[in-house]
Structure 1
Amino acid sequence: MTEYVGLTWDHPRGRAALEAAAGDLGSGDSLRWEVQPLEGFESAPIDDLARRYDLLVMDHPHLGDARQHDSIRPIDELFDADQLREWESAAVGPSITSYRMADRLWALPLDAATQVSARRRDLVLDAPSTWDEALALADRGLVATSLAGPHAFVSLCSIAVSLGDSPGAGHDLFDRGIARRALDLLTRLSSRAPKGTAALNPIGLLDRMRDRGDIGCIPLVYGYVNYSSPVLAFGPAPAHDGRSGSTIGGTGIAVTRRSEPSAALLAHLRMLLSEEAQRGFIPTHSGQPSARAAWTDPGVDAAAHGFYSATLSTIESSWVRPRVPGYIPFQAEASALVRSAVDGSRSPEGVLDDIEERFAAVIAAATEIEENA
């Protein structure tokens, strides 16, 4: 008899379905979930959490640190190749490939999310399809941007992707010309945001948009199906020359090295990723499924006020962040630097210089770790 303990994030989307499905797994085993705030999910050291929990709900940028510390088990040690191929073909966008490194899968994609646009239906009739349209809304004082925590840097990357860059693909993190344009655009979008919004995480921004009505549009914010309603609508991320930019998030379930998963626990994980659960149990328990079959199900979409059909194209083309040791603290530092450029306390060129220098140090350290492994 084993009681397994998992850690997820404290929001209905992160906890409700997992808690409803947990309990007695059969064969004497059981599972219970504890929670941490969104900020912990985004930044808590993965190796510390892995020593305390059997299952971790995590985001793909933590993979570098998880692999460096040998904190989690490869999923292909636990499930056969046919099952993995089935999940690979079923997942929407890069929601499963973002957890694949070194030809191994390290987490199961329970939840799929990416940055999309959000708007008040009564204030903004249509989602901005281009950055020029988003800037026009900003000039009217209708726009807030997602800048708190890691989101300022993530938004910068997404805008750069829409302008034609592939951050991290070359010697430098950014094409400097594109990065400068992206930072200028983010600064202009943020220039007339309602007071106090810069400190809000995506949940706080969406709460404020719904409850106070002083935000008409957030051009880039992680999509939360729970907020899609007759009041709030989600749409694709704005595009430039037909190319949208968005950074995939979502969550995966990882099995830690401390865990000895039983057949009952593995069967439970298999159930959570089944098409039946993804199209039924997960959406009806406040979750946001990772299976394309759920995102394209007319009934699931209608119950979500069109959330899935409106954002499918964006998640299918979303960008995957680097997954190297040290990326999580770098992302936090880079985001603080972006905020300093947006609020005018530092020059854009100086900020981009610092971001490049810090990213180069992360890559150099990761290379040394790999060479000494």
Structure 2
Amino acid sequence: MTYRGLTWDHPRGYNALAAAEKNGGPVRWDVQPLEGFESAPIAELCARYDLVVLDHPHLGEAMAAECLQPLESLFSSAQLEAFAATAVGPSFTSYEMNGKLWALPLDAASQVMALRPDLIDTVPKNWDEVVALSESGNVALSLAGPHAFLSLLSIIAALEPTTDMSNGNWPNDSVLARAYSILQQLFTHASKAALGLNPIGLLEHMSTHDDIALIPLIYGYVNYARGGREKPLRFHDAPRVGAGPPGSIIGGTGIALSQCAQVSDALRDHLMWLMSPEAQSGFIPDHDGQPSLRSAWADADVNAASGGFYDNTRDTLEAATIRPRHNGYIAFQSDASAYLRMALDTDIDANTVAARMTEMFHANRLERSLA
């Protein structure tokens, strides 16, 4: 039996799955652009595909639409416990909701620091050092699409490492204002080169031009750290506040099964193989993928081939925070990012921004609860 799957159109999201298909795998993969992956309605995709590669913030929307199959019906509790124990950071738990698992964490990522080693003498460790460095004018921010809001959340995670937003909790206005103030200071001095680009476009620009030396928060893409590029990038842990842990928001991708998929043993075995230590440390990184198993992130060969990408950012992944996932969150994330870009561009004060963000969040939750 052949299944139809949808993933995202980038070597990190597609090449390993396409190679598995070519090697006789049971899934035929189509692609969508990054913007579709970040915002396309999950129910519409599940109506057309058996498998969907998704990001965990879509779970609330998927729960409301009842368009996914819980994976407890496919895998034993021992198998799921093994996945949970071996996944890096909260990659596994980000796909748990309502007491069930809804996707397998194929790929792990979070916002980390990207830099050009030929343009940076000393790697900054904390936000004070990043702000000071930004005065040079060659520090950039990732603000396009949902990433303005995600950058704010990552700074909040550094300021308050115990913050848990995964179940509807929301930081208080004083923390929001402090986080926005850091973003505002950076924006004042930051390079405006490539400001409207998504993370892929921004990293591509950074690796082909000399006007951006550092991006303090951007989702890590191992592809830009590998040898063979004229100007390879280096990735490091996200900035800290003082001696605290790096603050970041977990990303990555999971493979979910739509309600229309009729699962065969061949498909179950294929998914088990994709999550196996052998595939995660070999086949997936060999085909431009970014594995989710902790063992792959610690593997010496995998690190040697990636310029130390995994070693340099593993602490960030392990400490990463899960963002909100309620039904309606995707729309809020887009609206919040648009508001933040406007606030930064017009220099609105931090307390006003914090109050408005809180108002927007609670209005979004209330609207969906009444729908």
Q: What band does the TM-score fall into relative to the shorter chain?
A: over 0.9
Looking at structure 1, the residues matched to 126 and 347 of structure 2 have their Cα atoms a distance apart, in angstroms, of 28
- The residue number in structure 1 matching 2:305 is 303
Looking at structure 2, the residues matched to 193 and 208 of structure 1 have their Cα atoms a distance apart, in angstroms, of 15
Looking at structure 2, the residues matched to 313 and 48 of structure 1 have their Cα atoms a distance apart, in angstroms, of 36
AA paired with 2:195?
A: A
Measured on the aligned residues, the alpha-carbon RMSD in Å equals 1.8
What SS class does the counterpart of residue 118 from structure 1 fall into? strand
Give the counterpart of 1:211 among 208, 227, 231. Answer: 208
**1:256 equivalenced with 2:254 (yes/no):** no
- 1:98-128, CA deviations, whole angstroms, 9 ceiling, x for partnerless residues? 0011221000000000011010001113321
- The residue number in structure 2 matching 1:279 is 281
**1:159 equivalenced with 2:161 (yes/no):** no
Looking at structure 2, the residues matched to 311 and 196 of structure 1 have their Cα atoms a distance apart, in angstroms, of 25
TM-score (norm 1): 0.94
Give the counterpart of 1:38 among 34, 37, 54. Answer: 34
Note closer, same or farther for the CA distance 1:273–1:168 as it changes in structure 2 (3 Å cut). Answer: closer
Give the counterpart of 1:344 among 346, 356, 360. Answer: 346
Give the counterpart of 1:129 among 118, 125, 132. Answer: 125
Superposition pairs of residues 30-179 of structure 1, within 5 angstroms: 30-164=26-160, 166=163, 168=165, 173-179=170-176
- The residue number in structure 1 matching 2:364 is 362
Note closer, same or farther for the CA distance 1:337–1:4 as it changes in structure 2 (3 Å cut). Answer: same
- The residue number in structure 2 matching 1:237 is 238
Looking at structure 1, the residues matched to 81 and 168 of structure 2 have their Cα atoms a distance apart, in angstroms, of 33
AA paired with 1:129?
A: K
Structure 1 consecutive aligned stretches of length 4 or more whose deviation exceeds 4 Å = 23-26, 169-172, 365-369
**1:192 equivalenced with 2:196 (yes/no):** no
Looking at structure 1, the residues matched to 321 and 243 of structure 2 have their Cα atoms a distance apart, in angstroms, of 16
The Cα shift of 1:6 comes to 0.5
* Alpha-carbon contact 2:11-2:288 (below 8 Å) kept: yes
Note closer, same or farther for the CA distance 1:351–1:300 as it changes in structure 2 (3 Å cut). Answer: same
Mean CA deviation greater in 57-66 or 241-250: 241-250
The Cα shift of 1:342 comes to 1.3
Looking at structure 2, the residues matched to 253 and 34 of structure 1 have their Cα atoms a distance apart, in angstroms, of 14
AA paired with 1:162?
A: A
Looking at structure 2, the residues matched to 170 and 227 of structure 1 have their Cα atoms a distance apart, in angstroms, of 34
- 1:277-297, CA deviations, whole angstroms, 9 ceiling, x for partnerless residues? 000000000000000010001
The Cα shift of 1:23 comes to 4.8
AA paired with 1:207?
A: E
**1:223 equivalenced with 2:220 (yes/no):** yes
What SS class does the counterpart of residue 72 from structure 1 fall into? coil
Looking at structure 2, the residues matched to 55 and 359 of structure 1 have their Cα atoms a distance apart, in angstroms, of 31
- 1:309-334, CA deviations, whole angstroms, 9 ceiling, x for partnerless residues? 00000100000011110000000000
What SS class does the counterpart of residue 48 from structure 2 fall into? coil
* Alpha-carbon contact 2:164-2:322 (below 8 Å) kept: no
Identity in percent: 50
AA paired with 1:189?
A: L
* Alpha-carbon contact 1:117-1:127 (below 8 Å) kept: no
Note closer, same or farther for the CA distance 1:249–1:169 as it changes in structure 2 (3 Å cut). Answer: closer
What SS class does the counterpart of residue 314 from structure 2 fall into? helix
**1:201 equivalenced with 2:198 (yes/no):** yes
Mean CA deviation greater in 170-179 or 94-103: 170-179
Q: How many residues align?
A: 365
The Cα shift of 1:66 comes to 0.4
Looking at structure 2, the residues matched to 104 and 170 of structure 1 have their Cα atoms a distance apart, in angstroms, of 14
Note closer, same or farther for the CA distance 1:354–1:172 as it changes in structure 2 (3 Å cut). Answer: farther
AA paired with 2:307?
A: H
Looking at structure 2, the residues matched to 168 and 75 of structure 1 have their Cα atoms a distance apart, in angstroms, of 24
* Alpha-carbon contact 2:225-2:306 (below 8 Å) kept: yes
**1:183 equivalenced with 2:180 (yes/no):** yes
In the alignment, structure 1 segments of 5+ residues that lack a partner are none
- 1:15-40, CA deviations, whole angstroms, 9 ceiling, x for partnerless residues? 000010015757xxx42111010011
Note closer, same or farther for the CA distance 1:267–1:252 as it changes in structure 2 (3 Å cut). Answer: same
AA paired with 1:199?
A: G
- 1:174-215, CA deviations, whole angstroms, 9 ceiling, x for partnerless residues? 221121121111121122333342201111111111100110
AA paired with 1:353?
A: A
- 1:247-271, CA deviations, whole angstroms, 9 ceiling, x for partnerless residues? 0000000000011121111111111
* Alpha-carbon contact 1:152-1:339 (below 8 Å) kept: yes
TM-score (norm 2): 0.94
- The residue number in structure 2 matching 1:9 is 8
